[in-house]
Structure 1
Amino acid sequence: MMNIREKITGTSWAQTLLDELREELDVLSAAEGFQIPVEPGGWWHQYVCPEHHTELLFDPLEADAMQYKCPHGCVLSGEPYRGAWLVYKHQSLARYALQAAAVYSGTGEASYAELARTILERYARQFPLYPIHPDAQGWMLKGRAFHQALSEAIWATTLIRAYLLLKDEGLDFKSAVQPLAVFFDMLETSMAQYRQILIFERKSPQNNYTAWLNAALAGVYAATGERSKLEALISGEGGLRHHLSIGVKPDQFEFEGSTYYHVFVLRAYLIMGEMAERLGFDMKTMKGEEGQTFEGMLDILAELANDSGYLPALHDGPYQRLAYAREIAEIFEIGLAHYGKAEHVPVLAEAYRQIGSEQASSQDEFTPKAAGWRNSLEALVFGIGDTLPSSELPPRPSLWLPDSGFAVGRVNGNRLSFLADFGAHGGSHGHYDKLHVSLEHAIGGSLSPELGMVPYGSALRKSWYAGTSSHNTVSVNGQSQLETTGEAVQWSASDKAVYLWMRANDAYPGCVLQRHLFQTDAFILDWFDVVLESEATAIDWWYHGLGSFKLSIGEWEGITHSDKPSGQSAGYEYIDAHGKVAGDRRPGALLLEQQLPTGINSSIQLWLHANSNVYHVDAPGPADNPAQRMKGLLHRIEGTKATFIALYHAGEQPVELRFATGLPVGEAHYTKAEFIIDSIGNSWNCRYSNEQGLSFTKHLE
């Protein structure tokens, strides 16, 4: 592993980045931005605008803020915003301690060592003065410097990393030996107590909390040189090996089915591995009982990413956020240093693109501009090497995650890919989204993504983002699905075609949902059947898309207020309908175009088969900016049975959707569930093998 001085002399990027990080520290020092708050922090999830549901702005130049601004102009004050701001402040100071230690390591300038040491010493002296937090919510494991012990563990690992980096450079802490000893002792005591509660009393060792309590304790043991305690923490119940076995599924994805919490837990694992290696353990070869590894967890992220390296926001987790991008950069820099896999680079490059974009739009004048595309502290501390492999992703095969319940369809020659969710609900971080499907475009990026999750203090968390109506699936009677697990009845994938048959039997009482996805190099066919035991008011098929929609033939019809598909709950209260195409006026196939959101001169075609109303709607957008409304389609069928058929196409040649028989909507009987493909001359013909026939023709000129 390269140290920072070796990076300065051995790479073309490290010196530029070091200079920018040093300039940032100098600006903060001049603004007295390093004062340690004597108040403990609250819960960061409450740092969110109640009107626009966006994260509030944070300026580290402010030593003590009393007003908290929304990006849309709102100004808030008091609690819970004050406590949440303090979380940002405490976490930023820990990061600046690590940044100052890194700058000292690269320059040898004593003022930066003194800055890092000052932050560490002040926190060591202040920590015993924070009470066990009296305002923490009842479900939380309570911290001192924060509402949650979880936040405390994350914060503590950053401080400990700074401490160890300074120790590596030969710096002594003679003036703070006793305060630091007290800090480490108190931290060990609280983290060990909370592990006991979580693992043995609450019987929840797989919780993501456990991974972070372990990481914080590993940091303490690395700082104090207690190898035997760290060995027990690796091997014992709820320890690293055990947590890797129960907190990660055999297909290498974190058990909650959340991309964010996968990154979150992996980061804790890698920190623990870093601390263990300081005491002589080799963590690269660590394996769970069913083959789970750190390398495998990185691999699965790279396989889930779209062609730009962007990670889908499966289940709970932000759509895009600076702190999250930094976490992704950290784990993939560590991954590159240990495993050196070129296929990891695109995800790392996308994380740095997001970091650079956030910095460019920030009001803070001191943020790093960019050093190549390695533009943040994570690169200086964890990155190695001068040149990196290409950030272009080669063509990738489809991805099948049977344990976690996700599938990604990819076929060479088709610019579109799909991601389908049929697995477990995901516990407290799950969504009511069974049989949800996202679409990606190889050039244009996300077309109909998972929207991510707002901070948990927002009212939209459960009422919109976790609910069914915000996902590209089906809702019944204006209600969200029940918490359930679906199944994959059939999956097959080759370089020419992909077929997935998904089913959910318990999403609604007496209801069976079945969805078929069939992909060739020319199109993606999406066939969704719903059968109910009792009468339904409405069965709604949702498609939320980035970009804009237009009808290829005709215009949207105006609708009256009474005709709008609105409601007072389950997310319908956030839907606004602008027009419709009435089924009784337009039987057969409806052709729409979705303009790609990136602004490139291209679009995709959506053929919808329907003899019922299709509405043009808008709704809250991705979770990083809910106030930016996004467009969508709502296809509504009344009755106890419904069949929704859509065709997605992004090629140069037109694809025609036509029906070989007069298919009556809602009359699909599953006598045999299989697609048959025939190649005849210059055409591909796809037939659905039950009693109703569906025919597609594409001219391959």
Structure 2
Amino acid sequence: MRLNNKTQLFRIITLLIIVTIIGCKEASTNEQGDEKVDKIVSANSDHPKLILTKAGVESIRKQLGNIPIFDNTLKAVQEEIDAEIALGIDTPIPKDYSGGYTHVRHKRNMIVLQKAGVLYQILNDEKYAKYVKDMLMQYEAMYKTLPVHPKTRSYARGKLFWQCLNDSNWLVYVSQAYDCIYNYLTEEERNKLETNLFKPFADFISVDNPQFYQRVHNHSTWGNAAVGMIGLVMNDEELIDRALYGIKGAEMDKTAKDDDGGFINKDGKAGFLANIEEPFSPDGYYNEGPYYQRYAMYPFLVFAEGLHNVKPELKIFEYKEGVLLKSINALLNLSDADGEFFPLNDGQKGMSYYNDALVTAVDISYHFGAQDPGLLSIAEKQNKVLLDDSGLAVALGIKNGKAKPFAKKSINLSDGPDGKQGGVGILRNEDIELVFKYAAQGSSHGHYDKLSYSLYENGEEIIQDYGLARFVNIEQKGGGNYLKENKTWAKQTIAHNTVTQNETSHYNGDFEIGSKHNPELNYFSTENESVQVVSAKEANAYPGTEMLRTMAIIKDEDLEKPYVLDIMKLVSNKANQYDFPYYFLGQVLNSNFEYKIPSTLKPLGDKNGYQHLYVEGSAKANKDNTKFSWLNKGKFYTLTAVTNTNDEILFTRIGANDPAFNLRREAAIMLRRKNTKNTLFVSTIEAHGSYSPVSESAVNSNSSIKELKVILDTDQYTAIEITNVKGNTKLFITINKNASKETKHTLKINDKDYDWSGSYYFK
């Protein structure tokens, strides 16, 4: 039916009136709601905000093609992720330990997700967002019905992985990916992921596993960061609060141990802030040692960066006087000339600042710290940066020519939350580095090695610390986890370059006892570049025995290279057997004593690490000085030790009672002194000369130290005379107690007066 013109006009006018009325009504009723609408829009559009930021993405896009190290990193990541996308998505049902396929695949997935999210933001290419979404949806479908991991070894089993630690790793990375594609997803998709995956995941690793989450340990740091970072992305204040301060009101077993011997914090301290407060000393030393500091720095720093970006009012980088940023400088100083971390406590040799966690540490430290140009030189060596705001800052700094060498000097790093639980002293003189450990127990990853040391020349080990007994992520070796030999050998005192009394480890190898005590610094002196000294004492490793060790690197104009002087003073209330090993690396050259080789190899003992040492040779010291030389990687080394005719000399080799060949077959020379109360072990170690297999020439292959002699030893002073082959004699006097730098001393030795101020005398 056709309508006439008047009818049509009437209907149009009526419709306009209705629309106007409705519009006015909506306008009036929504005046108060405008703020809410704006907040919703803002909340949905303020991503990324966690590590990448909106402003940072804009800056990066403007600089692309003009920042070489960033551009190259971006290109490499894009090629890597494009290859992964071409392979398709695989989220297998978990079943393996570390090193197995499902473990490696889920670990790979978390890294790929994080990188793909970043590529979506920087390149604005939807294929990366879709890839992240599709994989997350597969995890969402899996996680709803996923049981606890079938492997039962861990004290806190995960779901995707055999332990909650790795589940936490996953969520730390994946929270960054979720942040990057947040706005790409619909509200319905976000609700689905948060309800079925992220919130249950965060609850599982925290409230469902308080024995993992509610303590001070690198494991818990990962858990705290995981819960907090996904909380920041989801704007979930409950999760953020739980991350910062721990679980509230949870009933927990105060004696629950983990598989490494750790404990839920008995003082109730937990959460991210407690994990900053307790393990770090004011100098930035992390009590578990540099290997685990490297591992923990990633969650520490990325969560801190997220907090800085989302909750700047917390001033997280200023917490505990800025210790997080200080710790990066400390960690870099705990590496040798090649950037490899000293293997203090449980530490895998070869771990270095080329690890991705240290790329994160260097970039964040530069961006949020004082923009130290020395960090840029390390970033140049790493040859990659983070694809975020901090990586851009580093890339621009390098491009603008601001990089300067990172200068490593002698440094003393205190241990303990207040800096009063011992420490680590590093002496550096030319190419020689001495690492002296007088630190506290080091949590569950600590070793029983008070007053031990290791020695390096230009990044090569001279006297080694064994490190840990583990083949990380190699499935064929114990599922890639700690081997039993870590406890039976690597942690034991005899595995280290320090004194073992009566074939018993320090603190009787007891974690609880060890955690109550620590050595104390006597003095640390590096003002004189030619004579650098560290001295510390330990009075609790063996009841009734006090150990005082003083170590110096001395540059003498008569010698080719700086040498080490080592003075270990033992005072006891009873007679003991003391074993004093030197774990040298290289080929034996010669000695000034005759030794016997057994026809059958037998272990040195039956427990406390002795069961893992074969005796390959034995001798009686027949001179006042015992000398032993070896060759390692084209360089010569000589040990000169003060001995007496009752001393035994043992050649040992690691490997006894090790049918699975889990231990490295490395050697030591050991001094054994029996039935002795008070004594001194005094020695020097010289680095000298070189050998070229090309020219087949040996240069300066002999020791330059002729004689080492103790000329005084009292409660207050110990004096050592060092005579070289030229006949020149130097005297080193160390102060054994009350070694103030300001104190004046007057001492008569052999009718000669010595006057000086300070902790030691050398002339």
TM-score category (smaller protein): 0.7 to 0.9
Give the direction of change, closer, same or farther, for the CA distance of 1:554–1:129 in structure 2 (3 Å limit). Answer: same
Could you tell me how far 1:175 is from its partner in structure 2? 7.2
Supply the distance in 1 between the matched residues of 2:380 and 2:468 (Cα, whole angstroms).
21
Whether 1:159 aligns to 2:174 is yes
TM-score, normalised via structure 2 length: 0.70
Equivalent residues of 2:642, 2:682 under 8 A apart: yes
The alpha-carbon deviation at position 321 of structure 1 amounts to 5.0
User: 1:671 — aligned with what?
Assistant: 715
Greater mean deviation of Cα atoms: 381-390 or 417-426: 381-390
Matches within 5 A, 1:39-54: 39=94, 42=97, 44=98, 47=99
Mapped to 1, the partners of 2:388 and 2:580 lie a distance apart of 43
User: Is 1:176 aligned with 2:189?
Assistant: yes
Task: Say which of 449, 453, 463 aligns to 2:488.
Answer: 463
What is the aligned counterpart of 1:19 among 72, 75, 89? Answer: 75
Deviation at 1:93, TM superposition (A): 0.9
Structure 1 residues 446 and 380: alpha-carbon distance in aligned structure 2, compared to 1, 3 A threshold: farther
Q: Which residue of 1 aligns with 2:343?
A: 313
Alignment-derived partner of residue 408 in structure 1:
425
Q: Are 1:520 and 2:559 an aligned pair? A: no
Question: Are 2:659 and 1:604 equivalent residues in the alignment?
Answer: no
CA distance in 1, matches of 2:655, 2:61: 47
**Between Structure 1 and Structure 2, whose CA radius of gyration is higher?**
2
The one-letter amino acid of 1:459's match is K
Number of the residue aligned with 1:276: 307
C-alpha distance in structure 1 between counterparts of 2:345 and 2:428, whole Å: 25
**Given that residues 284 and 338 in structure 1 are in contact (C-alpha distance below 8 angstroms), is that contact kept between their aligned partners in structure 2?**
no
Q: Secondary structure at the match of 1:648?
A: strand
- RMSD after superposition: 4.0
Q: Hey, what's the Cα distance between the residues in 1 that align with 2:524 and 2:242?
A: 44
Alpha-carbon distance between aligned partners in 2 of 1:449 and 1:382, rounded to the nearest angstrom: 38
Change (3 A) 1:278 1:19: same
CA distance in 2, matches of 1:392, 1:579: 46
Question: Hey, what's the Cα distance between the residues in 2 that align with 1:197 and 1:229?
Answer: 18
- What is the aligned partner in structure 2 of residue 206 from structure 1? 216
Of stretches 681-690 and 239-248 in structure 1, the one that deviates more from structure 2 is 681-690
Structure 2 match to 1:331: 361
Q: Show the counterpart of 2:597.
A: 559
Query: What letter corresponds to residue 38 of structure 1 in structure 2?
Result: I
Q: CA deviation at 1:288?
A: 4.2
Match of 2:585 in 1: 546
1:264 is matched with 295
Question: Distance in 2 between the 1:382 and 1:126 partners?
Answer: 37
Give the structure 2 partner of residue 648 of structure 1: 685
Contact 1:10 1:386 (C-alpha < 8 Å) held by counterparts: no
Q: Is the CA contact (8 Å cut-off) linking 1:221 and 1:230 kept in structure 2?
A: yes
Match of 1:500 in 2: 534
- CA shift, 1:312, in A, is 1.3
How many Å apart are 1:223 and its aligned residue?
1.8
One-letter amino acid of the structure 2 residue matched with residue 114 of structure 1: K
Counterpart AA for 2:635: S
1:125 aligns with 2:141: yes
Cα offset for 1:431? Answer: 0.7
Distance in 2, Cα, partners of 1:279 & 1:171 = 20
Helix, strand or coil at the partner of 2:583:
strand
Structure-to-structure mapping, 1:212-227, within 5 angstroms: 212-226=222-236
The letter for the 2-side match of 1:16 is: N
Separation in 2, partners of 1:38, 1:395: 47
* Alpha-carbon distance, 1:158 to partner: 0.6
Query: 1:132 is paired with a residue of what secondary structure?
Result: coil
Task: In structure 2, give the amino acid aligned to 1:614.
Answer: I
> How far apart are 1:577 and its partner, in Å?
3.9
Residues 90 and 430 from structure 1, CA distance in 2 versus in 1: closer, same or farther, beyond 3 angstroms? same
Query: Which amino acid in the other structure matches residue 157 of structure 1?
Result: V
Q: Distance in 2 between matches of 1:249 and 1:675?
A: 34
1:321-380 deviation line (CA, Å, top 9, x unaligned): 599922222222222232222344566567x4xxxxxxxxxxxxxxxxxxxx32898999
Q: Taking CA–CA contacts closer than 8 Å with sequence separation of 6 or more, which of the two structures ends up with the larger relative contact order?
A: 1
1:617 to 652, 655, 662: 652
8 Å CA contact 1:399–1:407 kept in 2: the answer is yes
In structure 1, give the amino acid aligned to 2:580.
W
In 2, Cα distance between equivalents of 1:112 and 1:514: 60
The aligned residue for residue 35 of structure 1 is 90
Q: CA deviation at 1:180?
A: 0.7
1:462, CA displacement in angstroms? 0.6
Q: Relative to 1, partners in 2 of residues 1:348 and 1:638: Cα closer, same or farther, differing over 3 Å?
A: farther
Partner of 1:79: none
2:434 equivalent to 1:398: no
1:156-180 per-residue CA deviation (whole Å, 9 max, x = no partner) reads: 111111121234xx53256733431
Residue 51 of structure 1 corresponds to none
What's the CA shift for 1:491?
0.5
Query: 1:40·1:144 contact (CA, 8 Å) conserved in 2?
Result: no
1:293 aligns to 2:323 (yes or no): yes
Amino acid at match of 1:433: D
Matches within 5 A, 1:341-420: 341-344=372-375, 352=382, 373-374=383-384, 384-386=394-396, 388=398, 392-394=405-407, 396-401=409-414, 403-410=420-427, 412=429, 414-420=430-436
Shift of 1:37: 0.9
CA drift of 1:217 comes to 1.8
1:655 and 1:307 map into 2 onto residues whose CA distance is 26
TM-score (norm 1): 0.76
SS at match of 2:549: strand
Structure 2 residue identity aligned to 1:636: R
Once residues 677 and 328 of structure 1 are traced to their aligned partners in structure 2, the CA distance between those partners, rounded to angstroms, is 44
Aligned mates of 1:91, 1:409 — CA distance in 2: 36
Q: Distance in 1 between matches of 2:631 and 2:376?
A: 29
Q: CA deviation at 1:133?
A: 4.0
Report the alpha carbon displacement of residue 557 of structure 1 after superposing the two structures with TM. 3.5
Q: Is the Cα–Cα contact under 8 Å of residues 417 and 439 in structure 1 kept in the other structure? A: yes
CA distance in 2, matches of 1:324, 1:308: 10
Say if 1:298 and 1:344, in contact at 8 Å, map to a contact too.
no
AA matched with 1:162: A
Shift of 1:432: 1.0
Moved more, 280-289 or 426-435: 280-289
Query: Any conservation in 2 of the 1:308–1:346 contact (CA below 8 Å)?
Result: no
Rate the CA distance shift 1:175–1:381 in 2: closer, same or farther, 3 A: farther
Match of 2:3 in 1: none
Q: Structure 1 616/679 Cα, relative in aligned 2: closer, same or farther at 3 Å?
A: closer
1:647 Cα offset (Å):
0.5
1:214-239: CA deviation from partner (whole Å, max 9, x where unpaired): 21122222221235763675467734
Q: Tell me the CA shift for residue 428 of structure 1.
A: 1.6
**Mapped partners of 1:616, 1:676: distance in 2:** 26
| Per-residue CA distance 1:490-547 (angstroms, 9 max, x = gap) | 11313323333322233234433332213322432111234554554x4211222334
Alignment partners' CA distance in 1, 2:718 and 2:574: 28
Q: Is the 8 A contact 2:363 2:385 kept in 1?
A: no
